Amino acid sequence: MPYVNIKITREGGPEGTGPSAQDKARLIKGVTDLLQEVLGKSPATTFVVIDEVALEDWGIGGLPVETYRATLR
Amino acid sequence: MPYVNIKITREGGPEGTGPSAQDKARLIKGVTDLLQEVLGKSPATTFVVIDEVALEDWGIGGLPVETYRATLR
Amino acid sequence: MPYVNIKITREGGPEGTGPSAQDKARLIKGVTDLLQEVLGKSPATTFVVIDEVALEDWGIGGLPVETYRATLR
Amino acid sequence: MPYVNIKITREGGPEGTGPSAQDKARLIKGVTDLLQEVLGKSPATTFVVIDEVALEDWGIGGLPVETYRATLR
Amino acid sequence: MPYVNIKITREGGPEGTGPSAQDKARLIKGVTDLLQEVLGKSPATTFVVIDEVALEDWGIGGLPVETYRATLR
Amino acid sequence: MPYVNIKITREGGPEGTGPSAQDKARLIKGVTDLLQEVLGKSPATTFVVIDEVALEDWGIGGLPVETYRATLR
């Protein structure tokens, strides 16, 4: 009975405001299938929770992610 | 000094958009009381954080929860 | 289909090394019952995960918890 | 730059004490590939953290998981 | 490659709706610097994720935080 | 009343098995001070929880961290 939490930045997708519901459904299916294939976990008791995180709330390299990316250009 | 995180789907409640503040207060009180009764934890240092998760962000059975429920009908 | 995570310090219990399996079972039942009573959530899709955290890994008041408690005496 | 946390019960595997390092490597690769395929996320900034949870610390149906499974037999 | 999650109540800041982007950037930098100084962790692989939690979703002392604060006055 | 969770790989430190209790105390103090300085949060209600993660349980670049590092040499 796995529990999987996927955190991603809120960006991209059809309107630039995050992944579409279809993409999220693909993530849910892909992770659930993976746990079944590798560890034999039952999909019926596999939970997947996706969190979208605003860009200003995600830091890497000591900077908010947008600022960090600008330093890489 | 326990820390409790409760994740639920954002649905139901008085307007169909999630539990009311009163229901959340009941959850907070119930969990805090439980930790005091079972383990003697002090309420003053018991944190409870509730996260509401959009239906499209919660997967079970390899599907977003609404799609999954439809398969059970 | 709630997911609940309970984090507590690893102490107390029958051997001083954390709650007994019986106490954990009481926590699991208590939280699950609470979510059913308050929000009508099905126990069959309610997950509860308990994490015990070593005392040196838990801080409050800017100090590891044991040091902090000593300051309160 | 996704962050993925996979929580599973500590059981199964070559010695009955949880998945092998090889199985964990497959999970890490599978999830990372999935995020690249579906959302174009860079593997270099995709973190995957696996938590194994003792059976007595995982509840479902209001019961510790082993007790719960026994009720299903 | 640390992962740090900071959960705070959504309040205060320039408009009373939570910390400013500048304050969040200071948190990100401060935590990243700390991990580099104390443990030698590379900023390039240090993730910081900030979650703002609505006041009605945060409990302490068995009460939602605003109610709790009112009891302390 | 912030809650901070710091996840790091279990390595380094005086015996190669993770940070010393002194280093953890520095992390706890540093994060708590930071939240007080930037956001005015009270240390008395600031929790910090440190999780050490086994190297085989941490993935980056689609690989367990040790394998990943070997590819960088």
Give the nearest chain B residue to E67 (CA atoms): B25
Question: What are the residue numbers of the active site of E?
Answer: 2
Q: Read off the pLDDT of residues B18-72 as tens digits, 9 standing for 90 and up.
A: 999 999 999 999 999 999 999 999 999 999 999 999 999 999 999 999 999 999 8
Contact A20, A13 (CB under 8 A): yes
Give contacts of E44 with chain A, Cβ < 8 Å: 60-61
Query: Average pLDDT for consecutive 10-residue bins of chain D (73 residues)?
Result: 97 94 98 98 98 98 97 87
Q: How many angstroms separate the CA of residue E71 from the nearest CA in chain F?
A: 16
Give the nearest chain F residue to E65 (CA atoms): F1
Q: Is the pLDDT of residue E27 over 90?
A: yes
Give contacts of D25 with chain F, Cβ < 8 Å: 56, 59, 63-64, 67
Q: Does D47 touch chain E (CB under 8 A)?
A: yes
Give the sheet arrangement for strand E3-9, strand by strand.
A63-64, A58-60, E47-53, E3-9, F3-9, F47-53, C58-60, C63-64
Residue spans per domain, chain B: 3-72
Give contacts of B64 with chain A, Cβ < 8 Å: 21, 24-25, 28
Token code pair at residue F41: 């949060």
Q: Does C52 touch chain F (CB under 8 A)?
A: no
Angle in degrees, 0-180, between the axes of helices E21-39 and F21-39, rounded to the nearest 10: 160
Nearest to B7 among C2, C19, C27 (CB): C2
According to CATH, the topology of domain A3-72 is Macrophage Migration Inhibitory Factor (3.30.429)
Give contacts of E27 with chain F, Cβ < 8 Å: 34-35, 38-39
pLDDT of amino acid D35 = 98
Q: Read off the pLDDT of residues E31-71 as tens digits, 9 standing for 90 and up.
A: 999 999 999 999 999 999 999 999 999 999 999 999 999 99
Name chain F's partners: 3 or more CB pairs within 8 A: B, C, D, E
Nearest to A1 among D9, D23, D35 (CB): D9
CA–CA dist A53, A70 (Å, integer): 19
pLDDT of amino acid C52 = 98
Q: Read off the pLDDT of residues F19-42 as tens digits, 9 standing for 90 and up.
A: 999 999 999 999 999 999 999 999
Q: Is the pLDDT of residue E1 over 90?
A: no
Give contacts of D49 with chain E, Cβ < 8 Å: 3
Give the nearest chain A residue to D35 (CA atoms): A27
Output the average pLDDT for chain F.
Answer: 96
Name chain C's partners: 3 or more CB pairs within 8 A: A, B, D, F
Nearest to B61 among A21, A27, A44 (CB): A44
pLDDT of amino acid A59 = 98
Q: Read off the pLDDT of residues E8-20 as tens digits, 9 standing for 90 and up.
A: 999 999 999 999 9
Question: Which residue pairs from A20-24 have beta carbons closer than 8 angstroms and sit at least 24 positions apart in sequence?
Answer: A21/B56, A21/B64, A23/D38, A23/D39, A24/A50, A24/B56, A24/B57, A24/B59, A24/B64
Give the nearest chain E residue to F26 (CA atoms): E38
Instruction: Give all strands (DSSP E) within A1-73, no chain letters.
Output: 3-9, 47-53, 58-60, 63-64
Q: Does A3 touch chain C (CB under 8 A)?
A: yes
ipTM above 0.85, yes or no: yes
